[in-house]
Structure 1
Amino acid sequence: MNNLPVQWMAEQSQRGRHLCLILDSTAVPGIHQALLHQLTHEHYRSVYRETAVAALSVGGPFIFSIDSLNPSSLNELLEGQTRDWGWLASIENHSIAILVKHWRERLLIGKRPQQALYRFHDNRVLARALAHLPESAYPEYLGPVISACFWQGEQWATVDNPASGEYPVPDAAQWLATPAPVNQERAILLVNVGQYLLAEHSEDLARLPEALSPRAWLIAQLDLAQRWGWQTPEQLHFLVVERLRETHTPGIKNWEPRPEEHAQAHFERLRGERFPEVKTWR
């Protein structure tokens, strides 16, 4: 087993801290199910449960209390082919509910209907945020997490929170301004939009042709958005929702941009065709 996470877990336990596993259940479904069978209900929480995205709770992130587990039980996670499954955290004893509350409050980004899910459970998102945040911003971001251990692409890393505790979400959350690599940003966008459609437009998704997977369809729409230069949440929301609706109820006659038509004018023209009662005021 890798030495750094094992050493980190031993040190945190020696200091009387409680060990938690923040797990992306879709990344390692077999391990997720195994932990659900090994641990009793009081030792894990579904973060999406009791939130606006409760419909996604079965496949969403889970937080497991792992103090009772033998470290060898985590061998497959720490030594497996994929290490992008989540991260480890230490907290004060009996404060797992506080940790869940902390991330639930930071879960949704933006306002309806352009909301997105913040993938706090993705170690790549965590590593990128911590790399760009000043240490003074760690407490508001990590909250009750005293220390974290995570894979950051090529090696394991740890970070300590200088003032762990309960904090309200700031008006301008610095971690949301963290730049993302283009390929990673695309992957996160794919997951977020897919989860939104599953929660809000599941009936329309079910109407897609059997030969076309929802993922393949969504990738094609994001490719289209990139080609057209549609980047804002409003533009992406209109594109995926309306094109999904049009797979069974045609509406807009021609989606392609006109010659020399820039991205915003293209968007406003199509929106005006779909919703003629909506006027754009300048």
Structure 2
Amino acid sequence: MQGMPYPWMVQQQQAGRQLCLILDGGGEECQALSAARDLSRYCSLYSQTAVAELAKTGPVILLLEDLAEPGLTQLLQKPETNWGWLGSLLNDDLTDVTRHWRERMLVGEPGRQALYRFQDNRTLARVLTYLPAEQWPVFLGPLVSVCYWHDDGWCCRDNPAPGNYPVPDPAPWSQVPNPQAAAILHANILRYLLAEHSEALAALVEFQDPRIWLTQVLEQAHAWQWCGPQQLEFLVVRRLEEATRSSVIQWQPMKGETPVEHYERVVEQWRREGAEHV
């Protein structure tokens, strides 16, 4: 569906459905749209949850009626800012859809959970592209249809079976690969090194581009299957020390070693080396 999504919105209204908008909170447009509604017409999805302190900047769901509303028009004119997406419901009761997304706002194991950015149109697009259509209902829940910006155009998808569904374990949408994951990890590690190992990083800059160096280290981690946070931290920090100081660690895996055995042997070797120099 190319162009502005008005034909989709009109179609949904003509079918007797209620239009809604799911978008990031905190922006001027979101504040203006929220201020124009009473409490029954919008909801902050983080409020009354474990992350209620983030409610002011968290995602919001708003009911739409006037397709010419200035705040809505402004958003639709700049979809490339990835502000969120549009949906339709069978009625104007936000209870079910609010509960649905609150149950899906966290992903990961207890104690290591992260906020899931379901309000991001790029996230929505990845899920609906990756998952087969028969799995869409458990992700979209009460939403009858959705319309979102993706790859320089508007897309719309219909939910095959709108309704209320429990969160499956594991949640299929949490398994969807993120093409930006590598770039995000790369940037986060550089920020960590700058904050915690700034002197070593400054020494590295004198003779090598840290970005190229880190790319090579992460390629090594992938090849060795050292993907856990502890393994990555050890490899990056020790490699940085090696690049800027003397080191005699035998990094390469030995014949027949599993990734875990390889990691444990290298850590033990590093500990012995450290003890000898104390």
- The code of the aligned residue for 1:229 comes to A
Q: Is the 8 A contact 2:20 2:86 kept in 1?
A: yes
Deviation at 1:21, TM superposition (A): 0.5
Q: CA deviation at 1:82?
A: 2.8
Match for residue 17 of structure 2? Answer: 17
TM-aligned CA distance change 1:37 to 1:255, over 3 Å? farther
Q: Distance in 2 between matches of 1:123 and 1:74?
A: 16
Pairing 1:19-38 to 2, within 5 Å after superposition: 19-25=19-25, 29-38=27-36
Match of 1:160 in 2: 158
Aligned residues of 1:114 and 1:233 also touching (Cα < 8 A): no
Query: Distance in 2 between the 1:71 and 1:159 partners?
Result: 24
Match of 2:205 in 1: none
| RMSD between superposed Cα atoms in Å | 4.2
Cα deviation code 1:20-55 (max 9, x no counterpart)? 1100226xx121222222222222111112222222
Cα drift, residue 127 of structure 1 = 0.6
The unaligned stretches of length 5 or more in structure 1 are 194-204, 210-219, 243-251, 273-282
CA distance in 2, matches of 1:77, 1:187: 27
Q: Does 1:170 align with 2:168?
A: yes
Q: Which amino acid aligns with 2:71?
A: S
How much does 1:136 deviate? 1.0
Partner of 2:221: 229
Q: 1:69 to 1:10 in 2, by over 3 A?
A: closer
Q: SS of the residue aligned with 2:251?
A: coil
Q: Deviations over 1:206-238 (max 9, x none)?
A: xx79xxxxxxxxxx9x98984773899994379
**Match of residue 120 from structure 1:** 118
Q: Name the structure 2 match of 1:200.
A: none
> Any unmatched runs of 5+ in structure 2?
197-210, 254-258, 269-278
Map 1:5-84 to 2 at 5 A: 5-25=5-25, 29-68=27-66, 70-80=68-78, 82-84=80-82
Q: Which residue in the other structure is 2:148 paired with? A: 150
Alpha-carbon distance between aligned partners in 1 of 2:119 and 2:185, rounded to the nearest angstrom: 15
Amino acid at match of 1:17: R
**1:255 positional shift:** 6.7
CA 1:225/1:176 → structure 2, altered by over 3 Å: closer, same or farther? farther
Q: Does the 8 Å contact 2:46/2:58 carry over to 1?
A: yes
Contact 1:24 1:62 in 2 (8 A): yes
- 8 Å CA contact 2:137–2:159 kept in 1: the answer is yes
How far is 1:271 from its partner? 9.1
Distance 1:109 1:260, change over 3 A: same
Asked whether the equivalents of residues 89 and 145 of structure 1 are also in contact (C-alpha less than 8 Å), the reply is: yes
| Residues 262-281 of structure 1 mapped to structure 2, 5 A cutoff | none
Select the residue among 163, 173, 185 that pairs with 2:181: 185
Letter in 2 for 1:25: G
Distance in 1 separating the partners of 2:117 and 2:265: 33
Q: Report the Cα offset of residue 173 of structure 1.
A: 2.3
Aligned partner of residue 156 in structure 1, secondary structure = strand
Give the structure 2 partner of residue 260 of structure 1. 251
- Deviation, 1:168, is 0.7
Instruction: Say if 1:109 and 1:115, in contact at 8 Å, map to a contact too.
Output: yes
Per-residue deviation at 1:270?
10
* Alpha carbons of structure 1 residues 155 and 122: separation in structure 2 relative to 1, 3 Å: same
Looking at structure 2, the residues matched to 35 and 237 of structure 1 have their Cα atoms a distance apart, in angstroms, of 44
Q: 1:235/1:93 Cα in 2 relative to 1: closer, same or farther (>3 Å)?
A: same
